[in-house]
Structures are given as C-alpha cells and as structure tokens.
Amino acid sequence: MCLISSARDCCKGEGYFIELDQCFETMGRLRLVFIFLSLLIFATAVIFVAYYWEHVVKPDLEIEKELKKEVKVKVREAPDLGIREFEQVVDLLKKGESMTARERLYYLMEYYPDSSVLPEARRIVGEINTDLLISRIPLEDKTEYIVKSGDALAAIARRHKTTIDYIMRANGRTSSVIHPGDRLTVYPLDFNVVIDKSDQMIRMELKGVFFKEYPVISFALPPLVKPPIKTEIKDRVAWFGENRILFNDKNYLKSRKWLQTSRQGLIIRAFDGSGKGKDDFGILVAPEDLEEMFTLFRVSTSIRFVE
C-alpha cells in the first residue's frame, strides 16, 4: 500500500512540474509577443515621425527659410526714394533756385530720414541757411538799422540780439568804425544749440527747425562734465598770443577764439591739429567751423549737451 501511495504521490508531483513548465513556456511566448508588439509599435512610431518630418515639418521649414530670404532681398533691394528727391535739388541749385532747393531738402529730411543722402542734404541746408543769413538777401526777422549819433557796435549788437561778428560779416565790413547814417543789416540770433555726443555733432535749431550742424573732432572734457547738461554761452573770448583781445584789435581776425559756457570745463574750441598742444581740451571742432559759430552764437545762446 505504501509503495502504491508513494508512486501516486510521485506521479502527482511530476504532473505539477509539467504544468509549471508549460506555464513558464506560455509566459515566455507571451513575453516574446509583447516584445515583438513593442518593437512593432516603436518602428511604426519611427516611420511616422520620419514621414511627418519629411513631408510636413521639413517642407514648412524650407518654405519659411525661403520666405525669410525673400524678405531680406526685398528689404535690401528697396529703392532709396530720397536719392530722387536729392537729384531734383541738385538741378534746382544748378539753376540758382536756392530757396526752392532748401524747401525740397527739408521735405527730404522729414520724409526720408533713412536715406543715404541725408547727411549731404543736412550739410547743404546748413550752407544755404548760413548764406541767406549772412548775406543782404531779405529774410524773415532780418532788418536794417540806421546808425545814430553816439551808437557803438557792441550796443547795437546787444540791442538786436546779435553779435558784432555777424554785423561785420553781413555788412561786408573790415573796420569796426561806424558813422551816423550807416545802414546795418541785423538779425536776432535766437538759436538753440544741441551738442550730441553720440553723433559727434553740434546742431543749431531756429524756432524748433534744423538750421545747421558742425562735426565734432573730439571731446576732451573733464571727467565730471558729462551729459545731460543744460547751460548757455557765458563768454566769447578771443586770444592773440597769451592776451585776450577785443573785436577792434588789429589782430582780431587772426585770434584764437573760445565759446565758454556757464558750465565750467564745457568750452567749444578750435582743434589745432597737433593733438599735443595745451589747447587740446574742450569740445574741439575745425577752425573754420568755430569761426562761423563765433559769428552766430551770442552770449546767452542756449546749449544742451546730450548723450
């Protein structure tokens, strides 16, 4: 009985292990199927992504790239309409129509501020404005003063808000001597001046409108003299050698000139060209530009120093 019982138990246990092996085998097959399905899904995803990239994303990117190129080409090839206006101005100047040319230049400056000819347009406007101002050509606010007994040039200039240098140049005088009955052209020099450090320009405005500009060669200012500064012309100084001289001195035309502002250290001077002289401080401009500024800037002229 014992032997029969043992054999039965043994057969029972062997059947258990057979079923267990079959279970493991089934699980292994399921695992292979799962792995196969995972690989199939992954491969499908890769194929889909590749297809989407090749047929959707890539074409869009190429189209966008081409559009950007076209935009750049269009911007680069955009016509400079200011050149056409400037050519018309040149024709007017050749015909001697300076007033009409000036109006066209102001139009160009307002409506074509990005034109390549803008700097030249501003330069020509400044030259025309200066010529009109210093000549005897009639101009708004330009008047004629008849010298009376006891008059002096300094008093006449102060009374009419102008400078002695302007009266001398506008009336073609080489001598400061005046006589009763002399007729003198005078003009109120009510300029506002902006010294722009970033553009290296000194700009003059008259009644809020651009008048003329002068390039700055260099700024040689004390460390504490920094924009923004609002000041005015305090003194107009002429030097001959080491001596300060007046306008009636015989050496006045050969003198070195300064435009001193109320802000200590902020001086407009002529650049001597050496870069090593003792005069190399202040706001340095070309000598011929300073001569003209000395004519047009009077004491109390408003100055703004900006960055």
> pLDDT tens digit string along 239-266?
998 899 988 888 888 888 999 999 998 9
> Residues 103-131: pLDDT tens digits?
999 999 999 999 999 999 999 999 999 99
pLDDT over 90 (residue 175):
no
Would you give the DSSP letter of residue 201?
A: E
3-state secondary structure of 187: coil
| H-type alpha helices, 58-149 | 58-76, 81-94, 98-111, 118-134
- 142 vs 76, which has greater pLDDT? 142
Q: What is the pTM of this model?
A: 0.71
- Three-class secondary structure of residue 161 per DSSP: coil
pLDDT tens digits, residue range 212-240?
999 999 998 998 899 899 999 999 999 99
Residue of 284, 282, 301 lying closest to 236 (CA atoms): 301
Of residues 302, 301, 299, 303, the one with CA closest to residue 283: 303
Q: What is the pLDDT of residue 167?
A: 94
Torsion 119-120-124-127 (CA) sign: positive
For residue 20, what pLDDT is reported? Answer: 58
Q: What is the pLDDT of residues 8-54, one digit of tens each?
A: 454 455 555 566 566 666 777 777 777 777 777 777 766 766 676 67
- Give residue 63's pLDDT band: very low, low, confident or very high (50, 70, 90): confident
